[in-house]
Amino acid sequence: MTTSFQNSPNDLQAISARQKLFFNKGLTRDVHYRILHLKRLKDVLLRYEEEICDALHRDFRKPAYETELSEFLIVLLELKSLIKNCKSWAKPRYVLPSLVNFPSLSKIYKEPFGNVLIIAPWNYPFQLVMAPLMSAIAAGNTAVVKPSELTPNTASVLEKIITEVFEPGYVDVVQGDAGVAKALLNLKWDYLFFTGSSRVGKIVYEAAAKHLTPVTLELGGKNPCIVDETAPLELTAKRIVWGKIVNAGQTCIAPDYLLVSENSKDQLLAALKTELQRALGPAPKESPDYARIINQSNFERLKGLIEDQQVVYGGDADASENYLAPTILDMGVLDPNIPLSELPEVLQQEIFGPILPVLSYKTHQDIQDWIEKYDKPLAVYLFSKNKALKNKVLNELSFGGGVINDVVSQFLNPRLPFGGVGKSGLGAYHGRHSFDTFSHQKSIVYKATWLDLNIRYAPYSKKLKFLKRFKKYF
């Protein structure tokens, strides 16, 4: 079932009501019912594999290899894990009982929240719909999915897949623009899952607060990448370039800017240029391995960020196809004393594109002072063999997650929770963490009746001394 903004808000209200009715039937509480639909989803996805790749290419020239690696394969592996583990993850879990409840047993029950709303972004329009949806289903919920209107071809394929696998009321797709999203947020949901910008995340959080709805917010931020003088520069450049040009830099965990030891800056800049030439050739515009900026608005924003800056590589642009070449900017030496508001715009806002500002630093303390100018980032990357610097970054900086001597690869391990902190996000998911995200953990104590200790009952006057002595066993 699909609706769009051409339909009245009453249609959205009707979809929400149908979801509640479906959930209340209790079908999704049966783990076998969930697994049946997850298996059906896997079969349908495999049939639509080529169409998914084609849709992403039509939306913003995303290379088929990137679609397979960063969208389809990630979804397929996670789906197989959910099918394999759903039954065991859904089982009640025994925990050690409390001594004060003796004699008793304690269990945690995994209970679906109910009706889930998933609002997805445009940058990974297939993966960031399917990953949370699959987990919501595995945990026993029903769901309404709102794909991005900026990737209409992918949204259309998603609709076909979901309609083929799930009956109306179990999972519904709602197509439309920001007005549709706003109308959906005005309705009452049992859980909200949003991926997108921090600006819109605030709107989602405010809407959820009206109904005290639990949320997961997967947002973003300015992710620093630190390179010190001990890093192997050729390998470092190769890994940074890959993380920055995938999806034309339109990745929430891409390195946003580089902080490079002043002793290594010139050599690293040379290595980055060499690697870009190797990866995309002398004319990146002609490369089949390089995506485009999603729309003209984002293209113009990105183009404006490099105006009046020292471009040391790239900078070429073509508005007719929203093409912006991978671009390296030399931003000089960082000065932690300059207020954030006085920095160039490219150092103030999250870039979300193929632009890489490079700053040099003098001391490790300069790094910390600079990063702490910003809100807590979603990711931090460090290329170094220096144990003291590694410990400083890991123990003294707050961020969502990161990698030592690589970029982006923290996302590829489903056993690691993925999420931000502060303005970079709220909550985490992936693998079992996703199942738990979409499950209410209901705590139950089974109290025995064969023994009833009198210590807790009134009158208390003769029991206080005993209780004080007993405290050391708690």
Task: Domain ranges for the chain, please list them.
Answer: 2-219+425-441, 224-419
**Residues in the chain with pLDDT values less than 50:** 1-7
| Alpha-carbon 298 to chain mean position | 20
pLDDT digits (tens, 9 = 90+) for 302-347: 999 999 999 999 999 999 999 999 999 999 999 999 999 999 999 9
Task: Please say whether the beta carbons of 105 and 94 come within 8 A.
Answer: yes
Smallest CA-to-CA distance from 378 within 364, 397, 359, 365 is with: 397
CATH 3.40.309.10 for domain 224-419, yes or no, is yes
> What CA dihedral angle connects 432, 68, 224 and 339, to 10 degrees?
-100
Cα 176 to Cα 183: distance, rounded to the nearest angstrom: 10
What tokens appear for 157 in the block? Answer: 């394929």
Cα 431 to Cα 217: distance, rounded to the nearest angstrom: 17
Name the DSSP class of 235: H
Distant-in-sequence, close-in-space partners of 270: CB < 8 Å, separation ≥ 6? none
Task: Please say whether the beta carbons of 61 and 112 come within 8 A.
Answer: no
Instruction: Concatenate the DSSP letters of all residues of 24-63 into one string.
Output: HTTGGGSHHHHHHHHHHHHHHHHHTHHHHHHHHHHHH---
Cα 258 to Cα 351: distance, rounded to the nearest angstrom: 13
b/e 436-457 (16+ beta carbons within 10 angstroms → b): bbbbeeeeeeeeeeeeeeeeee
Task: Please say whether the beta carbons of 125 and 72 come within 8 A.
Answer: no
- Check residue 1 and give its pLDDT: 45
- Check residue 474 and give its pLDDT: 60
Residues with catalytic roles:
218
Phi first, then psi, for residue 145 (nearest 5°) are -110, 130
3-state helix, strand, coil in the chain (%, to 5): 50, 20, 35
Predicted model pTM: 0.94
pLDDT digits (tens, 9 = 90+) for 188-217: 999 999 999 999 999 999 999 999 999 999
pLDDT digits (tens, 9 = 90+) for 408-431: 999 999 999 999 999 999 999 999
From residue 388, how far is each of 228, 365, 393, 394, 402 by CA, in Å?
12, 12, 9, 10, 17
Task: Tell me which CATH homologous superfamily contains domain 2-219+425-441.
Answer: Aldehyde Dehydrogenase; Chain A, domain 1 (3.40.605.10)
Neighbouring CB atoms inside 10 A of 266's CB total: 12
- Check residue 3 and give its pLDDT: 44
Smallest CA-to-CA distance from 403 within 430, 427, 383 is with: 383
Cα 241 to Cα 273: distance, rounded to the nearest angstrom: 9
Task: Name the 3-class secondary structure at 295.
Answer: coil
Task: Please say whether the beta carbons of 158 and 182 come within 8 A.
Answer: no
